[in-house]
Amino acid sequence: MSNENSSNKKSKTKVIFLILVIFSVIILTSIWYLHSNNMIIFKESKIHEVYVDLGEFTVGLNDTSKNRYFKGKLSVGYNKKDSIAKKQLAKENKLPVIKDIVNNYFRNRDYDFFNDLNNEKKIKQELLDVINKNLQDFKIIDIRFSQYLLQ
pLDDT digits (tens, 9 = 90+) for 25-41: 888 887 777 766 655 44
Residues 107 and 138 occupy one common structural domain:
yes
pLDDT value for 16: 86
Residues 26 and 89 occupy one common structural domain:
no
Residues 97 and 138 occupy one common structural domain:
yes
Q: What is the DSSP string of 27-55?
A: HHHHHHHHHHHHHHHHHHH---EEEEEEE
Residues 109 and 54 occupy one common structural domain:
yes
Q: For position 103, which CATH number holds? A: 3.30.479.30
**What is the domain extent for residue 36?**
1-46
For the segment 74-88, what is each residue's pLDDT rounded down to a tens digit?
999 999 898 888 888
High-pLDDT (> 70) share of the chain, %:
87
Residues 68 and 24 occupy one common structural domain:
no
Residues 32 and 54 occupy one common structural domain:
no
**Do β-strands 69-79 and 142-150 pair in parallel, antiparallel, or remain unpaired?**
antiparallel
Q: Return the number of other C-beta atoms located less than 10 Å from residue 67's C-beta.
A: 9
Residues 71 and 117 occupy one common structural domain:
yes
